[in-house]
Amino acid sequence: MQGFLIRGGRVLAGSVRVGGAKNAALPLLAATVLAGGVFRFRRVPDIRDVRVMAEILRRLGGEVDYHPAEADRDAELVVDTTHLEHTEIPESLMREMRSSIVLLGPLLARFGRARASYPGGCVIGPRPIDLHLRGLRALGAHIEEGGGYIWARADRLRGADIHLDVPSVGATEQLMMAATLARGRTVVRNAAKEPEISDLQQLLRAMGARVHGAGTDTVVIDGVPRLRPADHEVMPDRIEAGTFLLAGAVTQGEVEVEGVVPEHMSPVLAKLREAGAHIEVAQQRVRLRQGGRPTATNVKTQPYPGFPTDLQNPFLTLMCTAEGTSVIAETIWGNRFKVAEELRRMGADIQTEDRIAIVRGVVELTGAEVQATDDLRGGAALVLAGLGARGETRVLGAGCVDRGYERLAERLQGLGAEIERF
């Protein structure tokens, strides 16, 4: 099994450029299904989940090619949907990446039919899609479920007023995309406000869609008869940026992330400051300096602009060596403390009960062999723990980290970490 070998205790220092956001790139690529033609994307991260989405588009009949950077041009992912015509999302790829469910709405909107398999549960907890399906039904889709499959069809979707029970990121994206080609106006209320939704709105507008309100809790879409392809640069990954800053904090070092939108990171920066980090914000850059042991800090995950669940595990790692006791509450996913068991092997004092973790800070963690489960953020948290720990840590299961972090080991090496892949 692949893994990371880390010799801990190196103080990280330096600057790292952040890539395009995984959680923006995936729905952006799904949106290409809405129009036939050639799309060019810049700043697409080269990570496993993007490769899976590219493979799904190929299996649907699209062409996807990566053009590496040249002297006068940035790297590009070129997606040609001219001959895309299949409407069944392959089950094996759907299983590999549950968020591929967001293809259902675009396929249905453009071709009037789609089939997906049911995403089921996963390591971070159940991944329900009831809000996706209820919303598509409200847009006039006829949906049948059975034997683990979902069949959807509609002649032409029609606009509707939809109120989401919870501000789901995926359901908001799904319904925005489906509604772009519907007849009439769709209003999505209690919509998710994550910056990735604004990034999707920007692409959809460039494609000729009439959408506004992304970033607020009400998104309004006026359907148009057809859309055209467009070019787009993926927004910076605020979760990757937060992970690097936390790596700096865990090693009591000084790390700068560049190419970020600092405003997207304010919920995380607030908590890092509370934990004792010195943070400087400039245009497109954030610098963190952590002078000594962090101060115990309570965190509760919330939809944006609250503290992101995707940085909860890395923050939990930081709290393992804090002075004092912190309480971490996870409100988004039902099972996102699996990493605690592995951190305990490294000497952490964490008690978990349901969606709460109580962390009593210890002076230091010690290296051990630990296993990343299927949650890429848990995997990243273990890498951070290894960087801060005394001695050698082996993190098994590097594959899951590759789902969302591009060349993590090399980039940490660039900051002075002693880490290699095996």
Q: How far from each other are the two terminal CA atoms of the chain, in whole angstroms?
A: 8
Angle between helices 195-206 and 169-179 (to 10 degrees): 10
Q: What are phi and psi of 42, to 5 degrees?
A: -105, 160
Tokens 């959809």, located at residue? 204
According to DSSP, the β-strands at 392-396 and 369-371 are parallel
Q: Phi and psi for 79 in degrees, rounded to 5?
A: -115, 120
Q: Is the bond leading into 27 cis (omega within 30 degrees of zero)?
A: no
Tokens of 286: 């954030």
Which of residues 126 and 184 has its CB atom nearest to ligand EPU in the complex? Answer: 126
Q: Which among 5, 13, 38, 122 is annotated as catalytic?
A: 122
Q: Summarize as ranges the residues that interact with ligand EPU (CB under 6 A).
A: 22-23, 26, 99, 128-132, 166, 168-171, 192, 309-310, 332-333, 376-377, 404
Cβ contacts of residue 147 below 8 Å, gap of 6+? Answer: none
* Max intra-chain CA distance, the chain: 63
By the 8 A CB rule, do 6 and 386 touch?
Answer: yes
Distant-in-sequence, close-in-space partners of 33: CB < 8 Å, separation ≥ 6: 57, 60, 62, 81, 84, 103, 106, 107, 110
| Residue 378 backbone dihedrals phi, psi, to 5 degrees | -65, -40
Three-state DSSP class for 45? coil
Q: Which DSSP letter does residue 28 get?
A: H
The yes-or-no answer on residue 400 being catalytic is no
**How many residues are recorded in the chain?**
422
In contact, 167 and 192? CB cutoff 8 Å: yes
Considering the complex, state which of residue 130 and residue 420 has its C-beta at the smaller distance from ligand EPU.
130
Give the span between the Cα atoms of 40 and 65, in whole angstroms: 10
Side chain identity at residue 44, one-letter code: V
Q: Please, what sign has the CA dihedral across residues 397, 22, 377, 367?
A: positive
Phi, psi of 144 (to 5 degrees): -115, 140
109 closest CA partner among 180, 205, 203, 27? 180
CA angle, 294 then 299 then 305, to 5°: 120
| Listed residue (176, 262, 191, 172) closest to 222, CA to CA | 176
Tell me which residues are annotated as active site: 122
